[in-house]
Amino acid sequence: MSNTSQTIQKLIDVYRPGFSLPAEFYFDSSIYQTDLESIFCRRWIYAGHISQLSEPGEYFLVEFGNESIIVVRGKDNEIRAFANVCRHRGSRVCLEHSGRVRAFVCPYHAWTYELDGSLRSRREMPTDFEQDRYGLKSVGVGVFQGLIFINLDPDAPDLTQSLSSMDSSLEIYKLDETKIACQKTFEVNANWKLAIENFMECYHCAPAHPEYSCSHTLKSPRDYAAMRPAMIEQAAQLGYQTESIDNSVAVERDSIQYFYNRSAMYEHYVTGSESGKPVASLLGDIKEYGGGAADIQFGPVTYAILYPDHAVIYRFLPSTLQKTNMDIIWLVNRNAKEGVDYNLDELTWLWTVTTEADKKIILNNQKGVNSRYYDPGPLSNSESFVTTFIEWYLEQIKS
């Protein structure tokens, strides 16, 4: 057993269920490397939306840890993913985060790759050079309901088959018929687990997020329980699936975490906006407002809130041990026109102000965890999803 494995096992042995994690999980560099390998390189990670790749040659990058992945639509319209690493001497091939190209040209020595990853040209190599052996290395890619996912594990389970239980829940939204209206990245100087743990509980919502708390009943367990039955009845009448789905505890490598649940919103709030009034055209097959909002999980680091008129997708990706990118996209009906059917400031207001507050919360959490005085504390009943995440996480890194 390696030194890192021994360290992790000792920490697991002293971990108390129902408590936060020991500090080392948030500042130990060797554990962070284990996180990258055990989770980010073995699980399906949300990459982007098909509207970002509407034409052949359009691409974008997904980056975490030391990895950079190119996701591109080929000339045959197939979506593929490749390691952003030149097969010559390892330079990054794509330096821009997104764009459209006819081919990928390495800026170092001009090795050129087709959109299908094959090597097109290489300058001044020996005559016996085996060109076919040096295409870009492929990465697993899958598309579910218009959402693109990548997986660095060559033995990854089939994405669409694994998520088939979610089909009926999301069908009414028709996410494959939406487009990205806005995307933002919020960088927080904290370990990725603290960012996710914060997102997975609403124990902090009432004191920290007054804007969110005006509209979403999740901030109050009592209100949530009281208002949910009427919301479920209305949601059923409007055609939403009302039965919750919970596969968030899946730990096997051949399974994918997912979660679906509907939550109520307070009176006069029909969507996630400052006023509670609509901010965009209705999505998919949705005919009218009401029925609350859907809370979704895809894999370990991707979460979504689906309203009748827009969707918000969160993704948490680590760039270093204590630096995490919180990426957010806002999806609207693909036929909606900015300035006519939606206003960006109104559309993005709630989750922008909420995430700005979360940045401060998470940073202060990391500062406290880094202190010699930090001692794991007990989690509340409102933090049950944090407990679920911690238990799932510990199973992943010890395997």
123 lies in a domain? yes
What is residue 81's predicted lDDT score, i.e. its pLDDT? 98
The tens digit of pLDDT for each residue in 39-52 reads: 999 999 999 999 99
β-sheet bridge partners, residue 184: 328
Tokens representing 2 are 């390696």
What is residue 90's predicted lDDT score, i.e. its pLDDT? 96
Residue 288 and residue 350 in one domain: yes
Higher pLDDT, 63 or 253: 63
β-sheet bridge partners, residue 262: 294
- On the question of pLDDT at 283 being above 90, the answer is yes
Q: How far apart are CA 308 and CA 220, in angstroms?
A: 22
- On the question of pLDDT at 86 being above 70, the answer is yes
CATH assignment at residue 53: 2.102.10.10
Of 113, 98, 29, the C-alpha closest to 66 is 29
7 lies in a domain? no
Which residue range is the domain that position 107 belongs to?
Answer: 45-143
What is residue 122's predicted lDDT score, i.e. its pLDDT? 87
Q: pTM score, two decimals?
A: 0.96
What is residue 250's predicted lDDT score, i.e. its pLDDT? 80
Residue 70 and residue 196 in one domain: no
The tens digit of pLDDT for each residue in 166-224 reads: 999 999 999 999 999 999 999 999 999 999 999 999 999 999 999 999 999 999 999 99
Query: pLDDT class for 255, splitting at 50, 70, 90?
Result: confident
Residue 209 and residue 280 in one domain: yes
Residue 77 and residue 163 in one domain: no
208 lies in a domain? yes
Which of 143, 178, 210 is the last residue before a domain boundary? Answer: 143
- Quote the mean pLDDT of the chain: 96
Rg of the chain over CA atoms, in angstroms?
22
138 lies in a domain? yes
In the chain, % of residues over pLDDT 90: 93
What is residue 193's predicted lDDT score, i.e. its pLDDT? 98
Number of structural domains (the chain) is 2
Of 238, 353, 338, the C-alpha closest to 284 is 238
Residue 81 and residue 163 in one domain: no
| Helix (H) or strand (E) run with residue 353 in it | helix 344-369
Query: pLDDT class for 399, splitting at 50, 70, 90?
Result: low
CATH assignment at residue 249: 3.90.380.10
Residue 294 and residue 368 in one domain: yes
- On the question of pLDDT at 390 being above 90, the answer is yes
- On the question of pLDDT at 127 being above 90, the answer is no
Whether the Cβ atoms of residue 292 and residue 369 lie closer than 8 Å to each other = no
Q: How far apart are CA 335 and CA 377, in angstroms?
A: 49
282 lies in a domain? yes
Residue 131 and residue 165 in one domain: no
150 lies in a domain? no
276 lies in a domain? yes
Which of 115, 143, 171 is the last residue before a domain boundary? Answer: 143
The mean pLDDT value for 234-244 works out to: 97
Residue 248 and residue 384 in one domain: yes
Tokens representing 247 are 């596969």
- On the question of pLDDT at 251 being above 90, the answer is no
The mean pLDDT value for 116-139 works out to: 92
Residue 139 and residue 71 in one domain: yes
What is residue 254's predicted lDDT score, i.e. its pLDDT? 72
Taking the CB of residue 208, how many other CB atoms lie within 10 A of it?
Answer: 17
Residue 288 and residue 377 in one domain: yes
The mean pLDDT value for 334-351 works out to: 97
13 lies in a domain? no
Residue 64 and residue 120 in one domain: yes
Residue 183 and residue 322 in one domain: yes
- On the question of pLDDT at 253 being above 80, the answer is no
Whether the Cβ atoms of residue 360 and residue 191 lie closer than 8 Å to each other = no
Query: pLDDT class for 1, splitting at 50, 70, 90?
Result: low
Which of 91, 112, 143 is the last residue before a domain boundary? Answer: 143
